[in-house]
Amino acid sequence: MRTIKIDSRLILATGNLGKLKELQALLAGSDIEIATLRDFPELKMPEETGRTFTENARIKARAVVAATGGWALSDDSGLVVNALGGAPGIYSARFAGIKASDAENNQKLLREMADIPDSRRQAAFVCVMVLAAPSGAEYVFSGRCEGRIARRAQGTKGFGYDPIFLPAPDYNVTMAQLSAAEKSAISHRGKALRECKNRLTP
């Protein structure tokens, strides 16, 4: 497997504080200099107009590369629920509205699934990461965490849909009840970033 040499700092192309915290923790200990969008306050991220996680991740990564001339790592992820035809999918962050809170998104999902039996509550967290270079080269990494939707929110850790997602098959607690280390070991984002990290060299 060919390594990817990062010849400048790596900019994490996300404004989501929950994602940023997880990415920084997973990259801790590497020799690669890490920057965030906070280091570029003038940078305005584009609207996510893609139709897939990959398209949206590319939009964000390319925007950061174009604005900074550096390497960028973007993440687009969400919850895919079988019984809802794959929804909320790429609209996970705004399922209950453009400025909806995590709690509002969770409550809407629980309402829509109120009559769905336990045998049909399968779901998965999906993550696609795009690593983009100033040269125009791009590398795509992905991760998936299977599970099911709980009947009610439980736990105060994590963010997003973590309080209503029960990882399968070995957990009877929600993602929001796991420690950060337990979550990163099984999460969609952890899997995608480890795949990426294993290729990087400063």
Q: What is the per-residue DSSP string for 65-106?
A: HHHHSSEEEEEEEEEEEGGGTT-BGGGGGGTT-TT--HHHHH
Which pair of structure tokens corresponds to residue 30?
């590497």
Dihedral sign, Cα of residue 109, residue 154, residue 189, residue 72: positive
Question: Which of these is catalytic: 7, 31, 76, 118?
Answer: 76
From the list 66, 75, 21, 19, the residue with the least C-alpha distance to 44 is 66
Burial class (CB in 10 A: 0-12, 13-18, 19+), 50: middle
Q: Cis omega before residue 88 (within 30°)?
A: yes
Residue 76 among the catalytic residues: yes
Query: Looking only at Cα atoms, what is the longest distance across the chain?
Result: 53
As beta bridge partners, residue 179 has: none
- Rounded to 5 degrees, what angle do the CA atoms 168, 139, 128 make? 30
Residues labelled catalytic: 76
